[in-house]
Structure 1
């Protein structure tokens, strides 16, 4: 079979070309708009221009763009020519970019003008054949605005085999570098069948705001595929998150569908005087980490909307959630979506009885499941137990089919919806001349669910007396070497770390210590 998500957009444009596809608002309330007809034309024109520059079916392209209308156009243009997209967060540092360029054999980079500094540092170490900039042309970089001049905007769509590689998203691992998650061209079709129908629930009449930023799998999930694929109008805000600003935007624009992180919901729920905001939300959902009951109750009481939890991963799609009109069970992730084979299994991949804690697993027959980790057969094999893909999360299922999250089965940290591998933070910390060794774990936090905490052994124990000055120095050091969202918000100096007899750090002891000492627990 063949499928290309761009065809779906063209179909919508043919039926309702003048319908708004996107409304983009900046922090000064300046607006820009794009209709479905314009989205088809602009993305087709850019696709043809990129082909003329030398990109082709199978080209691997790293995209580094902030929120705005342009990411939608660029992603669609690349899909139209059959390229493979590497979503890249604007927070990536040169070290992160070099890793992706080398690991994936990237052929081209498309970057925002404001992100060229980190990109150029990376490209000095790992050159690519093609460089394109969103903005004014720079030495070695061709401007996207320049290359489209005089190029036809007649629709262009390359039919793609279902199994051709469409998206290569990188996600953190507990050891080694980030893993390249491979999703194929049929993935958007299958994602729309599940999340777009049973959970996200976008409809053509909706003004839908999914707050995820480009560079993350969640942006591909919701703002890109689920909003546009259902013919809704997408709302984009390019300013920084401020809870009162978000509520005011929801109020002023009459947004009807919201998908945000638990952290964003938690902070909005704490704003004083919520009765000031007259929201028109008909539906709201959340994903990235469990959502506490207090927030659900606040939004139900103040805005008459039920915030519905959803669970999935970069490696798949939405798997479990509270669907429309489903009874909410406080603390539960919800139920598997219709037709989904989700089970709680043991270490051997055998399904466990009701109520027993085990691995949350999805059957390998799920069409939206990833096609393995790029160039990493060992970690791919380790992710499966027989017929089941093991998510890395522990849970249990009750007699009525509801699933309950019990925690990570590895050392991965999920903070404010970001997935963070301890290795990446530890690798950055030990590059500091004052650090002898360290261990990084999740520490419970009321607003973010968890935050990154580092236990640091100093080369010179006397440096501990530098106190907060050294803490800030180490935090800034990490921000310079890897994406800033990964930096340790807490640092504790210790004389040694718990280890096994073979010398491996026992993060589990430190993690349990943090859980025990925490003054906050999710309810």
Structure 2
């Protein structure tokens, strides 16, 4: 019998049935609470009902849900079915959905009722889609998921899975071509819990833990889902929009014990006027997605007596390095590799480099939580390895004491406010606008987001650059073509772009120009 994370959560429900599993606060302040035993019964009901609807083990299901209790119930139910879950952000547009469905041969879509229209746009292009379930309201042409629970049974329901069965298929941006489908098998949550959930995230049984990542991202699977429920803690969920003062107020009111947020969220909270008037109950605070600056660490330490600990990982693996409890914090460093984990700095040939030499941040291929490759893309999978080492795409160095320091991306990927954005996706959206002839997209340094997406644009008619509304028009166009978080926050009109003799855009020259302005 293979590992199934849903069975792990059921065990906690059997041992501590009345323990609170999820506390969800809606934007209007109303609350929704669900105990572990209720979560167990609901997921049994939904899984058995979906099985009666014809959903079989191995089915690939795209899930498009916002933060809330439904995400936990749907994910666990699909795992009980032995399905493959494709986490999908609520910000995905029709083109993003079409790509994922066609690339992964998706047969099941479970979407919030306000997100179904984007799926309907591409139905005709995606014949593999057979089952459509809406959440939060009835939609024409969709089965209302809320109505399925009566078809199921609360008795134990879980399909036997093998460790090697495909569990999560998360899409991450690439520098060229479409997003890559990162394959993780059913044993991945076990390995993630053993490393990140124990040594870094450190959620305690019964503790109210708030990990702010939204469903649709690998980080939601990491922390709000696996690391909180897998440790028997209580997942705190807030459905309102991010507001730094509101976040501080919520933590104070509900006595949140563990916080996991992005550096951007921490930076903005640290700037709240009167931050010293909030009285928090934080035991632990962690951050991941991009390097955390010293100002934030110092502010939280001075005001709340808590050390915000940094961590580093990727969709393709798990957390690879971090500042553990009681470890010396070196601001700007991502910390050290976890005990027993082979993470190092290697050169282009996979040779391990010495202290303070800059090279690729890499993890040895023996790491149990490493992905199983990119779906249907052996070439890109092979290019991710240097001999025995998987290279992350980030450059770094190790100091004499083993702390790892981030030195930049080795490719053109943009990391903005914790989002990973491929320049190709933004460029592809921009050139679809009739006024754009050519463009290049890079990361531009930003004090709050770490970096923002900036586009250098050549117009078909140079005179259009005088139109004061064109920048906003192009930004809105990108938001409509692809997920809105990818839109260029800065646009500069140019007459030419730096290129190699073979015609490839030299983004490095544009990045150097931006860095010199910072």
TM over 0.5: yes
Alpha-carbon distance, 1:147 to partner = 1.9
1:51 is the counterpart of 2:63 = no
| Correspondence list, 1:147-166, <5 A | 147-166=148-167
Q: Which residue of 2 aligns with 1:3?
A: 3
Secondary structure of the residue aligned to 1:354 is coil
Equivalent in the alignment of 1:503:
503
Q: How far did residue 124 of structure 1 move? A: 3.3
Once the two structures are overlaid, the 10-residue window that deviates more, 107-116 or 139-148, is 139-148
Unaligned runs of 5+ in 2: none
In structure 1, the residue matched to 2:104 is: 104
Deviations 1:4-36 (A, max 9, x none): 001111110011000000000011110000000
Q: Distance in 2 between matches of 1:155 and 1:309?
A: 39
Deviations 1:198-239 (A, max 9, x none): 000000131000000000000000000000000001100000
Which residue does the alignment assign to 2:367? 366
Alignment of 1:460-499 (within 5 A): 460-467=461-468, 469-499=469-499
How many Å separate the matches in 2 of 1:215 and 1:123?
20
What is the rounded CA distance, in whole Å, between the counterparts of 1:245 and 1:219 in structure 2? Answer: 21
- Cα RMSD, aligned residues only: 0.7
Is the Cα contact below 8 Å between 1:3 and 1:160 reproduced in 2? yes
Q: Is the 8 A contact 1:62 1:87 kept in 2?
A: yes
- How far residue 140 of structure 1 moved from its aligned partner, in angstroms, is 1.7
Instruction: Give 3-state SS (helix, strand or coil) of 1:477's partner.
Output: helix
- Deviation digits for residues 303-351 of structure 1 (CA, Å, limit 9, x no counterpart): 0100000000000000000000000112111000011100100000110
Q: Aligned to 1:380, what secondary structure does the other structure show?
A: helix
Task: Please report how far the alpha carbon of residue 160 of structure 1 lies from its aligned counterpart in structure 2 after TM superposition.
Answer: 1.3
**What's the secondary structure of 1:87's corresponding residue?**
strand
Residues 198, 323 of structure 1: 8 Å contact kept = yes
Number of equivalences: 517
Which runs of structure 2 are paired with 1:213-292 in the superposition (5 Å)? 213-292=214-293
Given that 2:290 and 2:450 are in contact with CA atoms closer than 8 Å, whether structure 1 keeps it comes out as: yes
Show CA shifts across 1:375-415 (max 9, x none).
00000000000000000000000111100100000000000
SS for the counterpart of 2:150 is: coil
Measure, in 1, the Cα distance between the counterparts of 2:72 and 2:454.
Answer: 35
- Between the aligned partners of 1:336 and 1:151, the Cα distance in structure 2 is 45
Cα distance in 2 between the residues matched to 1:3 and 1:437? 49
Partner of 1:113: 113
Matched, 1:20 2:20: yes
Tell me whether 155-164 or 208-217 shows the greater mean CA deviation: 155-164
What CA distance in whole angstroms lies between the structure 2 residues aligned with 1:122 and 1:332?
44
Contact 1:203 1:232 in 2 (8 A): yes
Residue 343 of structure 1 is matched in structure 2 by 344
Displacement after TM superposition at 1:118 (Å):
1.1
1:181-220 mapped onto 2 (5 Å cutoff): 181-220=182-221
Q: Deviations over 1:180-201 (max 9, x none)?
A: 0000000000000000000000
**2:205/2:233 contact within 8 Å kept:** yes
Structure 1 residue runs without a partner (length 5+): 519-523
Per the normalisation by structure 2, the TM-score is 0.99
Q: How many angstroms does 1:125 deviate by?
A: 2.3
**Cα distance in 1 between the residues matched to 2:364 and 2:303:** 40
**Partner deviation per Cα, 1:407-438 (whole Å, 9 max, x = no partner):** 00000000000000000000000000000000
C-alpha contact (below 8 Å) 1:4/1:158 kept by paired residues: no
CA contact (8 A) 1:133 1:143 kept: yes
Return the alpha-carbon distance in structure 1 between the equivalents of residues 264 and 124 of structure 2: 37
* CA apart distance, 1:137: 2.7
Distance in 2 separating the partners of 1:250 and 1:112: 27
SS in 2 for 1:278: coil
Other-structure match for 1:140: 141
TM-score normalised by the chain length of structure 1: 0.98
